[in-house]
Every structure is written in structure tokens, then in C-alpha cells.
């Protein structure tokens, strides 16, 4: 069993207090920026709803949530809750989530880094959209990925 600390890149003050709050504010009012949503997931200890702005990614016919910053609070909560809600304005989508195995993350991580390299590329340890599959597999354990399925209304 590994005793290594999971990879986490904590957001800076500007991200937490300006960027995330601005994104959440706009998304709550129905303005999606590049697919943004406010995700709500139940806390693993309290059971209370926790929210964070996210950008679901579509690859083929599947949708994913990628944790660019690593094993953060929402990823721990998602593992326990198994799903949550995505909010855009007054629209709410309930979803279930299944964590993707490290070996299956390569195409998802490549698509995510391609789309978000300018904003989030620094969190992927020098891996770019042009990196080899082996390089993407190397960073896969540091970036949780969840396949999400919207529940039927």
C-alpha cells in the first residue's frame, strides 16, 4: 500500500475569491461559459450539499468531470455520493457518477487538456495534447475522472 500523498494543487486566492465566484455567479444566472455548471454533491461527512463550478467534458457520446487540480474535496465527496446535480440557471440535471480507471483516462485527459490547456495546462505536470499515451498514463492517477450519466426526468 502506498503512503504517498495524492496529488493536489490547491487553488490560489484569486481563483477561489474571484474566478470561481464569478463563474458560479454567472452560471447560477443561466450564463454558461464553455459549458460551465455549478455542481452540487453531498458532503461525505456532513451530508450537506457542497457546490463548486465545473466544466463537464463531452467525449464521443459520454460526459465526464475531470479534476484538473487532483484529489480535491469534491472528488472525495463524489466517490461516496456517487452523483449529484449540475445547475445552470434554474435548470437542474441530476446525475450519477462512476470513477474511470486510470488505464481508461487517456482519451479523456487528452481531450480535456486540448480544450483547457491555456487555462489549466499548468496542473498537468508538463503534459500537453501532443504528449504520448504513456505520458498521459503517468499523470492519470493524479487526476480523478468521473463518467456522468444524467438521470431521466
**Cβ count within 10 A of residue 147:** 17
Radius of gyration of the chain (CA): 15
Mean pLDDT in consecutive groups of 10 residues from the start of the chain, 153 residues: 50 59 71 84 96 93 95 96 96 97 97 84 84 95 96 66
User: What pLDDT, on a 0 to 100 scale, did the predictor assign at position 30?
Assistant: 73
Given this model, what pLDDT does residue 3 score? 39
* pLDDT score for 58: 96
Signed CA dihedral, 12, 45, 76, 96: sign only: negative
The pLDDT value given to residue 1? 37
Q: Tell me the backbone φ, ψ of residue 105, rounded to 5 degrees.
A: -80, -20
In the chain, count of helices (H) and strands (E)? 5, 7
HEC string of 26-58 equals: HHHCCCCCCCCEEEEEECCCCCCEEEEEECCEE
pLDDT tens, position by position, 37-71? 999 999 999 999 999 989 999 999 999 999 998 99
Domains of the chain: 13-150 (2.30.110.10)
Q: Break the chain down into helix, strand, coil percent, rounded to 5.
A: 35, 30, 35
Cβ atoms of 110 and 124 closer than 8 Å: no
Amino acid at each position: 500500500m502506498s503512503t504517498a500523498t495524492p496529488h493536489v494543487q490547491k487553488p490560489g486566492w484569486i481563483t477561489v475569491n474571484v474566478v470561481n465566484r464569478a463563474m458560479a455567479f454567472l452560471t447560477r444566472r443561466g450564463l454558461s461559459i464553455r459549458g460551465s455548471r455549478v455542481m452540487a454533491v453531498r458532503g461525505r461527512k456532513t451530508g450537506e450539499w457542497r457546490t463548486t463550478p465545473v466544466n463537464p467534458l463531452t467525449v464521443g457520446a459520454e460526459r465526464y468531470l475531470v479534476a484538473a487540480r487532483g484529489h480535491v474535496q469534491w472528488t472525495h465527496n463524489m466517490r461516496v455520493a456517487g452523483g449529484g446535480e449540475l445547475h445552470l440557471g434554474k435548470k437542474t440535471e441530476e446525475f450519477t457518477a462512476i470513477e474511470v480507471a486510470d488505464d481508461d483516462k487517456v482519451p479523456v485527459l487528452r481531450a480535456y487538456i486540448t480544450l483547457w490547456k491555456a487555462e489549466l495546462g499548468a496542473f498537468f505536470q508538463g503534459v500537453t495534447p501532443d504528449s504520448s499515451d504513456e505520458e498521459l498514463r503517468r499523470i492519470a492517477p493524479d487526476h480523478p475522472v468521473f463518467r456522468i450519466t444524467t438521470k431521466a426526468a
